[in-house]
Amino acid sequence: MCCKNCGASLGAGAKFCSQCGAPVNAGAETKKYCRNCHSELEPGALFCPECGYRVVEEPEPSNPDSSILEPQNEAKLLGQAEGPFACRMQGTENLSEFGLSLLIYEERLELWKGIREQNPRLIIQMRDISLVQNRKVNALTNGCILLLMKNGEKISLNYTSGSTNLQAENAAALIRSCLG
């Protein structure tokens, strides 16, 4: 049930609105609407007559503040490193994955091949990384980010284009900052 004055959610049996103090008309019929198509529902209906959506009674909030919507805990993008990258796993000479961008989130790394892909090529959880190094072997090689995993594996993200050592250093520093 909602306050007719301010629209705030009202608890069961409330006589006054907890937000604006307006009296609640206890005899007034509370209208309910379908959560799927927003059509008005008949009292006691189990299914929406318009779309067939199953009507589920919503529990009343335990306190007025709990009705405030909290933002969902979505992954926060901290940075992005542009490649192209060749990803090599420990003990193999063959390229495991290839990607054009590395997205750095608080909890994971994602290697993406292109903007039209539905899923990343590789996902690495930050909790699985024990050490991050960036290195440039000589003047002819490009930047490299080496991830030493807690299970002993090594994953190297090698830039395959020139003048990217600074970007590798910056990306490695950002990944290190996420490890705590």
Amino acid at position 18, single letter: S
pLDDT band at 119, cuts 50/70/90? confident
pLDDT given at position 71: 42
Q: Which CATH architecture has domain 77-178?
A: Roll (2.30)
> Cis before residue 84, ω within 30 degrees of 0?
yes
> Residue 66: pLDDT band by 50, 70, 90 thresholds?
very low
Instruction: Map out the domains of the chain as residue ranges.
Output: 1-70, 77-178
Dig out the tokens for 156 from the structure. Answer: 């190297």
Q: Which long-range contacts (CB under 8 A, 24 or more apart) does 30-39 make?
A: 30/1
Report pLDDT digits (tens) over 12-26.
777 777 777 777 775
Tell me: the pLDDT tens digits for 122-153?
888 888 888 888 876 555 557 788 888 888 88
Q: Among 54-68, 70-84, 130-144, which is the least confidently predicted range?
A: 54-68
* Residue 119 exposed, middle or buried by CB count within 10 Å (0-12, 13-18, 19+): exposed
Name the CA radius of gyration of the chain, rounded.
27
The confidence score (pLDDT) of residue 4 equals 73
Q: What is the mean pLDDT of residues 67-81?
A: 63
pLDDT at 70: 42
pLDDT in tens, 91-116: 555 546 677 788 888 888 888 877 66
